[in-house]
Structure 1
Amino acid sequence: MDIIYLHGVKAKTLIGVYDWERVAPQVVEVDLEIGIPSPRACHSDQLVDTIDYAKVVDRLRAELAEQHFLLLEALAEHLAQDIMGAFGAPWIKVSVTKLGILHEVGRVGVTVERGHRGG
């Protein structure tokens, strides 16, 4: 399976279980690995034969601006299902990270993997 990846995508969203986390949007960092439905782009060299990662980023940021979650797990699951459905990806790995949210902890996050990662 061919995979595209986007690492370190930053976006603002309301996320958290504590009241103080839900007052203003926080910046989260998202890493994506997305299975490409077909290897056609390797031979055609055409954008229409792959997943346009600029469109993925635009969609991700729009979703995070509109959707609000208590847990990173729910946010990651939502992104995984949304991106797989929108782009026809057979497999996805989504990592969502909160930056500097805990005292003396640089990053906390969660990773979900969905779909079938074929060979």
Structure 2
Amino acid sequence: MLYRVGVFYFLIMDIIFLRNFRAKTRIGIYPWERKVAQTIQLDLEIALPNKRAAMNDCIEDAMDYAQIAQSIHEILAEHNFSLLEALAEHIAQTIMLQYEAPWVKVSVAKLGIVRGVEKIGICIERGIKEKGGCNGE
């Protein structure tokens, strides 16, 4: 949200994050990937629709981190995806719709699937966000 003070505009955006979220799911294009659950790692940054929680210090105004995690577990249990890209998109759209987030960044990675590579994956951003972020990106 942009606020104007005199001739200056200030961006106010609070971003929560879930990092190193690991879960098992069936994902992939090969038959063996469709049979065996693989561990994936997710990292999420979610812009809050308002700054009430920061201003009021009231839990009722905050996003429920556990509920967000539960929503992701439900997606992984109920859907089968061939591509990490499709999974990331589904998670991003669900978070934006269910929690009214104006912006979300979702990273999804398979662990140890390629020899000599710790993880492979995709990172997507959806919505509207100004410059900045938790990592100063």
Normalised to the residue count of structure 2, the TM-score between the two structures is: 0.83
Residue 108 of structure 1: aligned partner: 120
Structure of greater relative contact order (alpha carbons < 8 Å, 6+ residues apart): 1
Structure 2 Cα separation of the partners of residues 62 and 10 of structure 1:
14
For 1:59-108, what per-residue CA distance to the aligned partner results, in whole angstroms no more than 9, with x for missing partners? 10111111110000000000000111111101000000100011111100
Counterpart contact for 1:13–1:67, Cα < 8 Å: no
What root-mean-square deviation, in Å, do the aligned CA atoms of Structure 1 and Structure 2 show?
1.1
Runs of 4 or more above 4 Å deviation: none
Percent of aligned pairs sharing the same letter: 50
Q: Indicate the SS of the match to 1:101.
A: coil
Unaligned residue ranges in structure 2 (runs of 5+): 1-12, 132-137
Q: 1:12: Cα distance to partner?
A: 1.4
Q: 1:27: Cα distance to partner?
A: 1.1
Residue 51 of structure 1: aligned partner: 63
Structure 2 Cα separation of the partners of residues 67 and 11 of structure 1:
14
Residue 71 of structure 1: aligned partner: 83
Residue 48 of structure 2: aligned partner: 36
Residue 14 of structure 2: aligned partner: 2
1:12 matches 2:16:
no
Which letter does structure 1 place at the counterpart of 2:112? G
Normalised to the residue count of structure 1, the TM-score between the two structures is: 0.96
The number of aligned residues is 119
Counterpart contact for 1:38–1:50, Cα < 8 Å: no
